[in-house]
Amino acid sequence: MSDKKTQQQKLRRRRRGMTLIEIMVVITILGLIMAAVGVSVIPKLEEAKQDTARMDIKTIQNAMKLYYTKKGKYPDTGTGLKALVDTNNLEKIPVDPWGNEYIYMNEGGKPVISSYGADGTQGGEGPDADISSRDATAQK
């Protein structure tokens, strides 16, 4: 009879579920896994944003070439990228991956398209570095 009672007690323990300590251990392990993944993913996110900006600049450059073909000149700095929207070379004035408008300048008949990076101000390093159509990296 005591053997049957012991089996019933074991069965009841199994049915009760996890204890608070077991739940806390599982949550701690999940937190450690998420932290490890986060540390390796966040730098890749910034690299992806920079690559997106380079591709956007290349797209804008192609739209500029179409504009030049139609008009025989590039838009002046004052008109900027709005000219590409007006001529239907672009659907809307694009923004960089950080939510800032791309900077357009016509330097002596040569268009230069730039993004000021994550900080939105000129200069900087790493994710804050400027990306420009002048750079060889914008031509990737």
Q: What is the tens place of the pLDDT at every residue in 39-97?
A: 888 888 889 999 999 999 999 999 999 999 999 999 999 999 999 998 888 889 889 99
Q: Side by side, which strands form the sheet with 110-115?
A: 103-107, 110-115, 131-132
Question: Is it the case that residue 121 has pLDDT exceeding 50?
Answer: yes
Give the angle 102-133-117 at the CA atoms, nearest 5°. 45
Phi, psi of 78 (to 5 degrees): -65, -40
Rounded mean pLDDT of 5-10? 74
- Please identify which residue in the block is written with the tokens 């073909």: 69
pLDDT for 16 = 65
Architecture (CATH level 2) of domain 41-137: 2-Layer Sandwich (3.30)
Rounded Cα distance, 128 and 96, in Å: 12
